[in-house]
Amino acid sequence: MFHTILFIGFPEIITVLIIAVMLFGADKLPEIARTFGKTVRQMRDASDDIKREIMKPVDDVKNEVKTQTDEVSPFQEVQKEIADAREEIEEFTRGPVKRD
């Protein structure tokens, strides 16, 4: 798993760490890593907030559509019952007609 993070291999990670130690010094690396971690967390939180803000109207529309569908459902049941009754009447009247 460690070797496939962001498609960066182990040699590249070691090279970046060596350059970071040379530029900032070993004593500053924990502070830099902490700051980087906080920044990444803030970016994720902001991304989640944006997603939530975008999805809220979509969820509202979904709920409204579901409500409308639930309201139409009884009418569809009545239409089905009418169609079934019509079919039964047609079957009854299609039979042979007896003439005296």
Residue ranges per structural domain of the chain: 2-93
How high is the pLDDT of residue 5? 57
98: exposed, middle or buried (Cβ count in 10 Å: 0-12, 13-18, 19+): exposed
What's the pLDDT score for residue 93? Answer: 77
pLDDT, position 17: 85
Residues of the chain with pLDDT under 70: 1-6, 95-100
pLDDT at residue 50, rounded to an integer: 94
Structure-block tokens of residue 37 = 């971690």
Specify the pLDDT at position 40. Answer: 92
Q: Are 32 and 20 in contact (CB under 8 A)?
A: yes
pLDDT digits 0-9 by tens, 61-82: 999 988 888 777 777 788 888 8
